[in-house]
């Protein structure tokens, strides 16, 4: 009797999880955004060389893990919207502006979400590093550092230990950005990924690091374990 009375379930899902991890750290005058380059499905590897990082504007870079088809669609929508902004305002979008646009774009699909866990990094209008972290439907917050994706549960506690500032409820309010130098922050990111790669099967192969500062944008790579 029980088998004839149970509700029909869909056996096809529009979503898939391609795994991977993203991290971003904001500094006084720089921002580091990093993600691994492994793309998986189930227990298989699709490719070891796929970038999850997208430059949306001169001073704004997004890293996203989750379902890469939705990530690609989201990146295209944001790039097109940025072009329109440039035509209308004759300038590039600032990182806080792009942060709000990303939130609105995600919530627009509240009832069929982009399966995309995003971390936005860049320089704010004063040239200070800023990081915004999102959930899949657009809830966002400016923070000093953030991690998203399959390795986030391993990395976030470690970053909390290394970077966490006192509670934001304390007065006077303390700046979210880390006092670390650019080189120290990059080293910290490399350590995070090396550790996450050990225990998370979906993280590994190669690490892509993007550094944004007053001089412009720079890209670095580091090998990770391939197993």
Residue 53 CB, nearest distance to other proteins (Å)? 18
Closer residue to other proteins in complex, CB, 2/84: 84
Measured over the CA atoms of residue 223, residue 199, residue 23 and residue 28, the dihedral's sign is negative
Closer residue to other proteins in complex, CB, 83/173: 83
Residue 56 CB, nearest distance to other proteins (Å)? 15
Residue 24 CB, nearest distance to other proteins (Å)? 26
Closer residue to other proteins in complex, CB, 6/88: 88
Residue 57 CB, nearest distance to other proteins (Å)? 16
Number of residues that bind other proteins (CB under 8 A): 5
Closer residue to other proteins in complex, CB, 7/87: 87
List the interface residues with other proteins, window 67-96 (CB under 8 A): 76, 80, 83-84, 87
List the interface residues with other proteins, window 172-201 (CB under 8 A): none
Beta bridge partners, 47, equal 39
Residue 80 CB, nearest distance to other proteins (Å)? 5
Closer residue to other proteins in complex, CB, 80/173: 80
Helix intervals (H) in the chain:
2-5, 68-89, 95-108, 152-163, 182-199
- The answer to whether the bond into 172 is cis (omega within 30° of 0) is yes
Closer residue to other proteins in complex, CB, 77/137: 77
Half-sphere exposure of 212 (CA within 13 A, CB side): 28
Residue 113 CB, nearest distance to other proteins (Å)? 20
Q: How many residues does the chain have?
A: 227
Q: Are 121 and 61 in contact (CB under 8 A)?
A: yes
CA–CA dist 211, 61 (Å, integer): 9
CA–CA dist 31, 59 (Å, integer): 10
Closer residue to other proteins in complex, CB, 72/199: 72
Nearest CA-CA partner of 118 in 85, 140, 97: 140
CA–CA dist 42, 216 (Å, integer): 38
Residue 76 CB, nearest distance to other proteins (Å)? 6
> Which residue matches tokens 């904001």?
26
CA–CA dist 218, 11 (Å, integer): 44
Name the residues that contact other proteins, by CB under 8 A: 76, 80, 83-84, 87
């Amino acid at each position: 009797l029980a088998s004839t009375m149970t509700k029909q379930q869909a056996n096809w899902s529009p979503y898939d999880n391609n795994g991977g991890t993203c991290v971003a750290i904001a500094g006084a005058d720089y921002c580091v955004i990093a993600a691994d380059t492994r793309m998986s499905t189930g227990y298989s590897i699709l490719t070891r060389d796929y970038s999850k990082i997208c430059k949306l504007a001169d001073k704004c870079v997004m890293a996203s893990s989750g379902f890469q088809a939705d990530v690609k669609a989201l990146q295209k929508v944001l790039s097109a919207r940025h072009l329109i902004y440039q035509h209308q305002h004759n300038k590039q979008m600032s990182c806080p502006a792009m942060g709000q646009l990303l939130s609105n774009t995600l919530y627009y699909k509240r009832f069929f979400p982009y399966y995309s866990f995003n971390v936005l990094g860049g320089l704010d209008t004063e040239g200070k590093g800023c990081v915004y972290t999102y959930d899949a439907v657009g809830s966002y917050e400016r923070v000093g550092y953030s991690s998203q994706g399959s390795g986030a549960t391993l990395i976030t506690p470690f970053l909390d230990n290394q970077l966490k500032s006192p509670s934001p409820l304390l007065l006077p309010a303390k700046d979210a950005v880390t006092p670390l130098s650019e080189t120290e922050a990059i080293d910290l990111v490399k350590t995070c990924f090396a550790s996450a790669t050990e225990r998370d099967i979906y993280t590994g192969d190669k690490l892509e690091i993007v550094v944004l500062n007053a001089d412009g944008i720079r890209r670095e790579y580091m090998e990770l374990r391939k197993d």
